[in-house]
Amino acid sequence: MQQGFKLTTTSRMKLVTALLLTALTLLLVSGAAPAGVVLERAGAQEEVSGGAVEAPADEIPGEVPEPPETGAVSWAIMDENSGEFLVGQEPDEQLPIGSVTKIMAALVVMQEGTSLDEEVPISGEAESYVGGVFSNVGLIAEERVTVRDLLVASLVASGTEAVYALAEHVGGGSVEQFVGMMNEEASRLGLENTNFDTPAGLDTEDNYSSARDLAILSREVLQEPLLAEIVDTPEATISTQGRQIEITNTNQLLNTYPPATGIKTGTTPEAGANLAASAESNDESFIAIVIGAEDSDQRFLAAESLLEYAFERYERRPLVNQDEVYGEAPLPYRPNEAVQLAATGEVAGLVDADSDVERRVTTLEELPPSASAGDELGEVELLVNGRRVGESPLVAQEGYEEASLWQKTRSTVGGLLESVQGAISGLTSGE
């Protein structure tokens, strides 16, 4: 019985040897590797060059400074350029925000494509918000004001009657319908801790947001050129059919902090003093949100200290450099030779001394038989703190020629011999 098994094993070894000789004969006749061998070689190449490989990360010198004391209930800092949330205190807490709400009303007006030159009549309901309780610009019923001027009045002077006039106009006569549009936009932007109940942010249980959500919303507002211009306006003049009204921005940072570019104050008895602020310096732009400051002056001091903190802590620097080599790939049929891969462009990222910088290199699963210098063969992806920042194609730094018949034969035979050796080892280990 044992002898029979040995004979069977010997027969299998002879069969394997015969198959090997047949394969070699076909190779020498056709000058190509058998299909099974090509698949095996391609699979090995995919494992080596088709997967993601981490390139060395940068060591960023320095220490991360502690955030300033703001005295606010909640705050957040965002990189305006990328939209990356950077740091905050209780950034997801749902809190009343007062008139900062009006930036969402303005955004909805812009996105609805309303004509900026269209005149809007001031209704009696809108006029009812003129008085000592609500911030306003003194518009009265039956005055007509353009959509553009109502946006200015809402964002610069925080005119409550102006934003109600816009809500009625864009909401088809219904403030409630307009507020629904504001909440739809909040959902589209992914504002998970935000709900609007009035277009002006009056104190109700159902009108709230968070510092993180307001940073996202503020960035969206700043991407609308007209709104970005308005929130950066210290003083303005609006017109009705019979008079002109001079107004001043409620955001004092525009007068006291030179880098400031916006955005909107918000103050109510329940919400306290709030501010969405932005600033730009040396090609860097940040957004700072302050919710629940001790008083009006404190919110401006808090926002300025947060913006200065961002400018001090973070730096945008090239993390992928053009023409720098970030990987290599083995040449077809030449596992001991490789082509070096260089980036075609620069990719910059915002970092601090605590940032985790990762470069993820991927190459084609199977390189072409030959390539010229500059041919795209892969990609380097830049991640900062696990967040994708950008990418650059990787190209061959030098060209290479197709493998010779001898190189293909040697590579293929080597692969076949390894396969046969493995098969024989498997058979003999079963005896």
114-150 confidence digits (pLDDT tens)? 999 999 999 999 999 998 778 999 999 999 999 999 9
Angstrom distance (rounded) from CA 334 to CA 44: 12
Angstrom distance (rounded) from CA 219 to CA 221: 5
The answer to whether 112 and 151 are in contact (CB under 8 A) is no
Domain 2-59+320-426: CATH architecture, name and number where available: Sandwich (2.60)
Return the CATH number of 74-313, one of 3.40.190.80, 3.40.710.10, 3.40.640.10, 3.30.920.30. 3.40.710.10
For 10: left if phi > 0, alpha if psi spans -120 to 50, otherwise beta; the answer is alpha
In terms of pLDDT, which residue wins out, 390 or 424?
Answer: 390
Q: Which residues are paired to 185 by β-bridges?
A: none
Average pLDDT over residues 327-343: 92
- On the question of pLDDT at 18 being above 90, the answer is no
- Contacting residues for 173 by C-beta, under 8 A, at least 6 apart: none
* The overall pTM is greater than 0.85: no
Whether omega for the bond prior to residue 140 falls within 30 degrees of 0, making it cis, is no
- On the question of pLDDT at 271 being above 90, the answer is yes
The answer to whether 221 and 263 are in contact (CB under 8 A) is yes
Where helices occur in 223-369 by DSSP H, the ranges are: 225-231, 253-256, 296-313
Domain boundaries, the chain: 2-59+320-426, 74-313
Give 3-state DSSP helix, strand, coil % of the chain, rounded to 5.
Answer: 40, 30, 35
Among residues of the chain, what percentage have pLDDT more than 70? 81
CA-wise closest residue to 97 among 300, 303, 302, 273? 273
Angstrom distance (rounded) from CA 431 to CA 415: 25
Angstrom distance (rounded) from CA 207 to CA 205: 6
pLDDT band at 42 (very low <50, low <70, confident <90, very high): very low
The reply to whether 2-59+320-426 and 74-313 are identical in fold is no
Would you state the pLDDT for residue 185?
98
CA-wise closest residue to 349 among 82, 85, 86, 83? 82
- On the question of pLDDT at 375 being above 70, the answer is yes
Q: Which residues are paired to 343 by β-bridges?
A: 394
Q: Which residue has the tokens 């104050």?
A: 265
Lookup: tokens for 203: 């104190």
> In sequence order, what E strands does 38-107 have?
53-55, 74-79, 85-89
- On the question of pLDDT at 431 being above 70, the answer is no
The answer to whether 239 and 145 are in contact (CB under 8 A) is yes
Positive or negative torsion for Cα 193, 198, 200, 205: negative
Would you state the pLDDT for residue 361?
96
Lookup: tokens for 95: 């809190």
